[in-house]
Structure 1
Amino acid sequence: MRRYSTSAEPPPAQPSNSLFGKSGAPRSDWQTVRNLLPYVWHYKWRVILALVCLVAAKVANLGVPVLMKKLVDNMNVPAGSATALLVVPAGLIVAYGVLRLSGTLFTELREILFSKVTQSAVREIALQVFRHLHALSLRFHLERQTGGMSRDIERGTRGIQSLISYSLYSILPTLVEMGLVMGFFILHYDIWFAVITGCALAGYIVFTIVVTEWRTHFRRRMNDLDSRANQKAIDSLLNFETVKYFGNEEYEAGRYDENLRKYRTAAIRSQNSLSFLNFGQQAIIATGLILILWRATVGVAAGKLTLGDLVLVNTLMIQLYVPLNFLGVIYREIKQATTDMDRMFVLLGTGREIADAPGAQPLRVSGAAVRFAHVGFGYESNRVILDDVDFTIGAGTTTAVVGHSGSGKSTLARLLFRFYDVGSGGIEIDGQDIRSITQDSLRRAIGIVPQDTVLFNDSIYYNIAYGRPDASREEVIEAARAAQIDTFIRELPQGYDTPVGERGLKLSGGEKQRVAIARTLLKNPPVLVFDEATSALDSRTEQAIQAELMRLAQNRTTLLIAHRLSTVVHADQILVMDHGRIVERGTHAELMRLEGRYAEMWQIQARSAAQGEVALEDAVLAIEAGDATQDA
């Protein structure tokens, strides 16, 4: 059997260059933010108006302590003076109240304007990630754990809301207020007020950034352990029956607890470093506040400043340091948000292994003839699955593929659906290479009844209607009748509204397979694939459904993959596969006359069935004999 070069293997999905550098290093936080900006700037007029409201709110906030200074200075009259009330301008009091109210008004207007921006950005990104994940190859999903990936998406969308909220509602307002306060000090007081304020702010920001950067790896470690614990938990719960079969509840709990213990250690280290950061921030704030108040007190004592100036400086610093006091928390939350967003954007940037070719056209079906032209394929470069597979399924005919497990039968269906691209050769439908047509049109033209049927955690009706969501209820019920499951459904208390449970676990294997058959019947495609479609059914139901499948396959191009040879005797062409190659082909009668591999398999299965019947008769006789002895 000839081997294929590495190029015969579909390349693994790779991250796009926009998300990773040439060396493959993870993106920086600024790159993460840059990926977010286009979604926000889509609503640029709302963003601009929100920023205008932000600046207006901060100007109003700055005006409040300035008016308070004037009120204090105007109140500096002798006690008991009859003119005390006259020197308090009523206009200043009214202006003071108006400024306070306007600050709140502009803040709320900013939030009203920006709420649509935030929620729309979250919606657009979440939808894009969801669509992108469905566009990725089967290989990607087989190599990823659903629990960890869903947690990454959940944290990522939450991180978008946090980043936008903290940036617009906390960081930008604080920066604007810092600029306004610094400018006011420079214009109205000596340079030392601005120098002390600037040094305190710079020291606070530098200390916060340095320590927070040091703490970031604790957060990343916590995220990794959180995802890992979630993966273990979801994987264990999805395999609930397997855990019960082997009595491994404590083993699964131990695996889960091991990750929880590691998470606890990382969380404790993160909290300890947080305490150090909080103390350092408060020390810097206290130092700056003491120095600037001392400077203002000296100015009042020297007669250069008034009491109103002292009140103004104190109020401005407190007003500035209150939001600044939360800057460390906000910065940490922003770092956390970018860390959480990072994984989601990496998912969004993962390259598509199977993508539509440029200018791909929809499939044009004229008869639905399928051609496998010298196909070679391997999931890995050192393991060949299909080797020079060449056959044609004529339009409206049925071709069956049989062989031992691992011979490559099911791989044919995956390649036909283009879950993977062939390594060599090609697959054509009505003369059109499936790599040159759109994947959507290709998969709409093919229906499949898989061996392992997985259902959505919804009602039976929903799962059948999934074959064609726009079908009427009558059409759905007719498909269920054709699949011999309508009677069973009507006997259920909730009928077609009966929930099937996670992955359809509330239904038996045969019931799930009949739902899958009904779903495919409803889709009514020109090309059909039956991959062990009746393997989970009892003999009586299998015969009934086999007749229905034969009726369904009439005038349709059908690929029938089977292990039981009794289900393929009617096929127009039977292919016998072994180790990825076609070793025999022909009708049932022709292959039996060859007395080759197919005839050998037929005899083995016939002998096994006969032995099973004899064993069953012996068991019945033994039970009857035992009952007679007991009665005697």
Structure 2
Amino acid sequence: MSVWSHFIHYYKPYRRLFFTDLFCASVVSVVDITFPQVLYFLTHGVFTQSPVEITRVLGVVAVGMLILYGIRYACQYYITTWGHIMGARMESDMRQDLFEHYQRLSFSYYDRNNTGEMMSKLVSDLFDISELAHHGPENVFICTLKIIGSFALLLFLSVKMTLILFLVTLLMIIFSIWQNRKMKAIFMDNRQKIAGVNARVQDSLSGIRVVKSFANEELERKRFDGSNLQFLDSKEGSYRIMGTFHAGNGLFQGLLYTTVLVSGGFFIAEGSLAVSDLAVYALYIGIFMNPIDVLINFTEQFQKGYAGFKRFTDTIHTVPDILEKPDALPLTPVRGNIVFQDVSFRYHQNTQVLDHVNITIAAGKTVALVGPSGGGKTTLCSLLPRFYDVSGGAVLIDGQDVRDVTLKSLRRAIGIVQQDVYLFAGTIRDNIAYGKPDATDAEIMEAAKNASIHDFIMGLDGGYDSYVGERGARLSGGQKQRIAIARVFLKNPPILILDEATSALDNESECHIQAALERLTQNRTTIVVAHRLSTIRNADEIIVITQDGIQERGSHETLLTQNGLYAKYYNIQFEGLDELENG
């Protein structure tokens, strides 16, 4: 019932539209039921009178019927137009809610789920919701009115024949329920399989440069072919069940007409039913059968919509790992004193990544984290803005536990420059302004100058309005990195995290970026994760972290004199450079 209560919740903003739609639906149903009753009135009363009287009554009936069908036209227009608009608005609300929920979910959710599947839930799964939201209550309401109304009038014409009709209808309902259970499972499988197709497409297209560089187009084709065929098998299974469902119900409808014909003929022969009554009875059978036919066809739509909405609610009800406390306070003003206090961390179902780590960073100081991959350097940095929460211990900023402050104020206080820079499809101006959406042009240009990218931008045909392409495909790695640095300059945070910010760059780009980073780190508390040890010589403290925890800590000169792990890493890097230069 939680699924249904959640679905009904989306009708609340459109209650007036919804109830007006149901009112119009009831008017349409009453008008449809009226015609056989008018015919019954004419055949049993009016047509037995004089021609003059018949003509007079027919004139009145014609005017009345025209008025009724005029009202029906207006109501049907409202149902078709505004009923669908209501459904589309509800679908839009659901899509907005799902997108906003995706924004709230923590990194661990994205670690476990594929982007293509999430896109499928956001787009494909909600396609059928609009029709379900509109036609669901309306179809059930109209069909219920028509079935009850026509059934009552059928009883009025012939109780015996109607009871026989009811038995056949009952068998039809039992068959429909049985088939409906099968359809529910197969349509849910359809959703899962098309999500798999979307995931495969997204994965392949996102990595298209890698695919082409390895000439693995055929491998990707085969992988997609597998996902595509699985979806095809699921669709074929659904069509087989639908074929049985629709053909079976068609058979029962034929049985209903056969029952009316045979039983009606029998009762006429018996003398308990007039021929004219059978004609009117046949008209009501059409009205009785029409809503049943509508419900049969609606079942497919319902199962598709329900399957999509079920997957939607499963995601909406996913509780984010990172939650803000109800009494959380803003982190302000921020000086930048950072303490990792006895911090431990493990990913879901994985081994321990950090174990009882203690680090103190004074405001305005720079601390560098070095060591082999997998030691937990990036994870440690991710705990500061609460991308993940500690498994044990605490992370403090200016003496406040980061779990006790609002997420917005916490993350606004921290600027991050990573190795893998993400640029949004749009202009250079848009991407720099992402650090401060309301920034002026002067502020954007100043940030670009500080990041040593202004001259390059002005050399482009479009200047700051130049399009960067998807993920910044039209720019080099160094250019994207400097735009990312400009973005952080514009944000102007008191705390800075540099995560392998120069490790993938050539020497010339690194020189430009290193100069920009030195300007960026001035008067900010900075944590640097680096493999290139030449970039961290001036750090106030260097901490060597391995899978066994903190191994060494101290200044560059101190660690070299200790002749430990840091000295080993340093010598390996610079002996290699010496060999290249001598070679």
Q: Secondary structure at the match of 1:247?
A: coil
Tell me if structure 2 keeps the 8 A contact 1:389–1:580: no
- Give, as a single letter, the amino acid of the residue that structure 2 aligns with 1:510: G
Contact 1:68 1:96 in 2 (8 A): no
2:75 aligns with 106
Residue 160, structure 1, aligned to residue 123, structure 2: no
Q: Select which of 48, 55, 70 maps to 2:26.
A: 55
**Counterparts of 1:255 and 1:538, CA distance in 2:** 35
Is contact 1:464–1:522 with CA below 8 Å preserved after alignment?
yes
- Taking the aligned partners of 1:531 and 1:50, their CA distance within structure 2 comes to 57
Q: CA offsets per residue over residues 454-513 of structure 1, 9 Å max, x none?
A: 222333222221111111223222222221222323333333333333333332222221
Q: 1:127 aligns with which of 96, 101, 108?
A: 96
Q: CA offset at residue 385 of structure 1?
A: 2.0
Select which of 62, 66, 84 maps to 1:97: 66
**Partner Cα distance (1:442, 1:112) in 2:** 47
Shift of 1:302: 7.0
Give the C-alpha shift of residue 112 in structure 1: 5.2
Shift of the alpha carbon at 1:42? 4.2
Q: Is the 8 A contact 1:40 1:118 kept in 2?
A: no
Query: Are positions 1:40 and 2:19 aligned together?
Result: no
Q: 1:538 to 1:88 in 2, by over 3 A?
A: same
Residues 1:477 and 2:448 aligned together: no
- Of 363-372 and 338-347, the range deviating more from structure 2: 363-372
Counterparts of 1:359 and 1:285, CA distance in 2: 63
SS of residue paired to 1:332:
helix
Q: Which string of whole-angstrom CA distances, capped at 9 and with x for unpartnered residues, describes residues 561-611 of structure 1?
A: 211111112222222223252222222233333333323322222212222
Alignment of 1:189-208 (within 5 A): 189-208=157-176
Superposed, 1:80-95 pairs within 5 Å as 83=52, 86=55, 88-95=57-64
**Partners of 1:185 and 1:195 in 2: CA distance:** 9
Distance verdict in 2 for CA 1:72–1:511, change over 3 Å: farther
Report if aligned partners of 1:408, 1:580 keep a CA contact under 8 Å in 2: no
Q: Deviations over 1:35-80 (max 9, x none)?
A: 21122134334433332222222112211222233344567469xx
After the TM superposition, which residues 457-476 of structure 1 pair with which residues of structure 2 at under 5 Å, given as runs?
Answer: 457-476=425-444
Return closer, same or farther for 1:167/1:381 CA change in 2, 3 Å cut-off. closer
Change (3 A) 1:573 1:91: same
How far apart, CA to CA, are the structure 2 residues paired with 1:361 and 1:346?
31
Name the structure 2 match of 1:137: 106
Q: Secondary structure at the match of 2:370?
A: strand
CA deviations 1:96-134 (Å, max 9, x no partner) are: 222222223223334555455433432332222212222
TM-score (norm 1): 0.86
Q: Using CA pairs below 8 Å that are at least 6 residues apart, which structure has the higher relative contact order?
A: 1
Relative to the length of structure 2, the TM-score reads: 0.93
Distance 2:292 2:240 in 1: 21
Question: Is 1:270 the equivalent of 2:238?
Answer: yes
| 2:147 is equivalent to residue 173 of structure 1 | no
Matched letter for residue 379 of structure 1 = Y
What does residue 471 of structure 2 align with? 503
Distance apart, 1:294 and its partner CA: 4.6
Q: CA deviation at 1:433?
A: 0.4
| Partner Cα separation in structure 2 for residue 155 and residue 173 of structure 1 | 29
Question: Partners in 1 of 2:47 and 2:514 — Cα distance?
Answer: 102
1:247 is aligned, of 215, 226, 234, to 215
Distance 1:152 1:279, change over 3 A: same
Instruction: Tell me the percent identity.
Output: 32
Kept in 2, the 8 Å contact 1:385–1:580? The answer is no
Distance change >3 Å, CA 202–CA 499, structure 1 → 2: farther
Match of 1:25 in 2: none
Question: Kindly tell me: are residues 519 and 418 of structure 1, through their superposed partners in 2, closer, same or farther at Cα, counting changes over 3 Å?
Answer: same
Find the counterpart in structure 2 of residue 218 from structure 1.
Answer: 186
Counterpart of 1:18 in structure 2 is: none
Aligned residue in 1 for 2:201: 233
Helix, strand or coil for the counterpart of 2:144? helix
- Alignment of 1:576 with 2:544, yes or no, is yes
Residue identity matched to 1:551:
R
- 1:516 aligned partner, one-letter code: A
Q: Which residue does 1:24 correspond to in 2? A: none
CA RMSD of aligned residues (A): 2.5
Deviations, residues 216-266 of structure 1 (Å, cap 9, x unaligned): 333333332222222112211111011111111111111111222233333
Where structure 2 has 5 or more consecutive residues not aligned to the other structure, the ranges are none
Instruction: Call closer, same or farther: CA 1:558–1:470 in 2, change over 3 Å.
Output: same
Change in Cα spacing, 1:144 to 1:182, as seen in structure 2 (3 Å) is: same
What is the letter of the counterpart of residue 503 of structure 2? S
Q: Tell whether the 8 Å contact from 2:334 to 2:413 is kept in structure 1 after alignment.
A: no
CA distance in 2, matches of 1:540, 1:337: 56
8 A Cα contact 2:165 2:259, kept in partner: no
Q: 5 Å matches for 1:200-599?
A: 200-296=168-264, 309-379=277-347, 383-599=351-567
User: How many correspondences in the alignment?
Assistant: 583
**Structure 2 CA distance for partners of 1:260 and 1:123, relative to 1, 3 Å:** closer
Distance (Å, rounded) in 1 between the aligned partners of 2:140 and 2:81? 18
Aligned equivalent of 2:575, options 607, 616, 621: 607
Q: Is the 8 A contact 1:397 1:572 kept in 2?
A: yes
SS of aligned partner of 2:183? helix
CA-CA distance at 1:338 after TM superposition: 0.7
- Which residue number corresponds to residue 64 of structure 1? 35
Distance 1:410 1:557 in 2: 17
In the alignment, is the contact (CA less than 8 A) between 2:425 and 2:470 conserved in 1?
Answer: yes
- Match of 2:342, SS? strand
Distance across 2 between alignment mates of 1:306 and 1:465: 83
Deviates more, 1:193-202 or 1:140-149: 193-202
Cα separation, partners in 2 of 1:537 and 1:89, compared to 1, 3 Å: same
- Local SS of the residue matching 1:463: helix
Q: Is the 8 A contact 1:375 1:386 kept in 2?
A: yes
